[in-house]
Amino acid sequence: MIYGNTDGIKRATLWQMKEWEQEYDRTLFVDRELLQNMVKTSLSLNRELCVFIARNGRLLAIGIGNATTVPLKDLRQKRADKRLAGVRCIHTHPNASGHLSDVDVSALVSGRYDCMCAVGIKDGRVVDMEVAYLTAGGVEKLYIRGSHFDDGDLLRRIGLAEADTKDKVLPQTGARRAMLVHAGQDSDIEQSLEELAALSKTLGYQTVGTMVQKRDPDRSTYVGSGKVGELALECQVRHADTVICDHQLSALQFKNLAEALGLALLDRTGIILDIFAKHATTNEGKLQVELARLQHRLPMVAGAGESMGRQRGGLHAVAGAGETKAEMDRRAIRRQIGQVREKLQKLQSERDTRRQTRAAGGLKNVVIVGYTNAGKSTLMNYITKAGVLEENKLFATLDSVSRTVWDDGYKYLLTDTVGFIRRLPHEFVEAFKSTLDEARYADLLLHVVDASSPQLLEEYDVVLGVLAEIGAFAPVLTVYNKCDRGLQTELPQRVDSVVVSAKTGQGIDELKKRIKEILTKGD
């Protein structure tokens, strides 16, 4: 099997390479004639070549790359995860030394090959080689100057290494390790990636690296075809198993990028929705999350391949193109969306009834809003002892909570809502409409701001933007929280503002006093 970059290679050359696919002497690390053919062809093409040789001596596959890299394949001959693959990978470095790169070593670990060998070739001959293999303690390397090596010694070393690692856990590539990617010319790239890293952490991912491309997102692959290869190598070196993009991807971008990388892929909207799904506890919250996920999934259904081919009727079907699998899937998703919306409308009616009852009784509603992780739940708990989950993570709480507050003979309802975030997905606003309606019908909005955040001004503006989008125009009392951590010097100047610490209780009495003054004004 020959794979990889065959563009521009003569058919005769490919046929010659095809003849390499045979069974060689199993006592040899690599057949000398095969090695010489690899050297000659690699130099003539100025491309890296790799061969995969099984323990029985059979050559399984030949890979063709470019001048500096060659794609590898998973040709594992052993099923157990704690065993080596049973395959050794030998590849050339045309006009370069045979020293193994970080990419080569990471490929050895992720592919669990018996060994990884790089052959440096110049002036038509092998100048040096480096062989790496896995042991229970990590990766060991052997450097060989020139082309003379002892096959028996190399195979013995590899055999001893496998015996040492048998039934032991080999070096791992790491689970849930994320590479963050941003493509765009935004002015807040650094802050946006920091926030994406926090979102990833909330979902359990460890950020192992970031990649930025300062140009408009590519319409087909998000980062552009050239950058995709660079991204794949970075993921390999950093042992990343997931790529998370800092924008919402189109169906075409998602499909092409996932196929090119061969890794798990998420976009900003997808990771936010996964967090919502993890944290929703009430029936309404779960339905809202389900609606948002269905709306996000709908445009991602794109026909591809035989599985998305047209479906025809039975014996009496008339001639025609039929209905594609993608069309059937989209219709099924729309049907699910309709069912979820019906259930949410019933809950919305119940919520409206409760709101009307409160209004008829003269009970005013104070709604807490703010950027995610600004301390809204902590403030709610301090005032009402509601027992809402407090955690230093984005979207730690999702479901809205309401409690009655008695303050010096005055009674009002205090409601905590889900936090906002920059580039809030449209699916979120649509699905959580009933919950966000609490802010629309509030008598007073407590805008909780993390006064210790370096991005305070940006977060402040994001919340005001979302409130305007949903039509929440009630009076606003700005609550600068976390004053115990130290205040930023630049605070938006607002007449109606209070500085507090929901953790220590500092300023809470003043906050309660201001709430009562605003609610009773004009009574």
Domain coordinates in residue numbering, the chain: 2-165, 177-275, 358-520
Cβ burial of 487 (10 Å; 0-12, 13-18, 19+) is middle
CA atoms within 13 A on the CB side of 356: 6
Per-residue confidence (pLDDT) for residue 81, from 0 to 100: 55
Q: What is the DSSP string of 369-410?
A: EEBTTSSHHHHHHHHH-------SSTTS--S-EEEEEEETTE
Per-residue confidence (pLDDT) for residue 159, from 0 to 100: 83
What distance in Å separates the CA atoms of residue 103 and residue 70, rounded to the nearest whole number? 11
- The residues, any chain, with a CB within 8 Å of residue 326's CB and separated by 6 or more, are 301, 302, 303, 308
What distance in Å separates the CA atoms of residue 428 and residue 295, rounded to the nearest whole number? 9
What six digits make up the tokens of 446? Answer: 């407590």
CATH class of 358-520: alpha beta
- Topology match between the domains 177-275 and 358-520: yes
Per-residue confidence (pLDDT) for residue 453, from 0 to 100: 85
7-35 b/e (C-beta count within 10 Å ≥ 16 → b): eebeeeeeeebeebeeebeeebbbbeebb
Q: How confident is the chain (523 residues) per 10-residue block, as mean pLDDT?
A: 83 89 88 89 88 89 79 62 77 85 76 85 86 80 85 85 62 66 84 87 85 90 86 80 88 85 84 76 75 79 44 43 66 87 81 72 85 85 72 58 80 83 69 70 89 85 85 88 76 76 89 89 66
Fold type of domain 177-275: Rossmann fold (3.40.50)
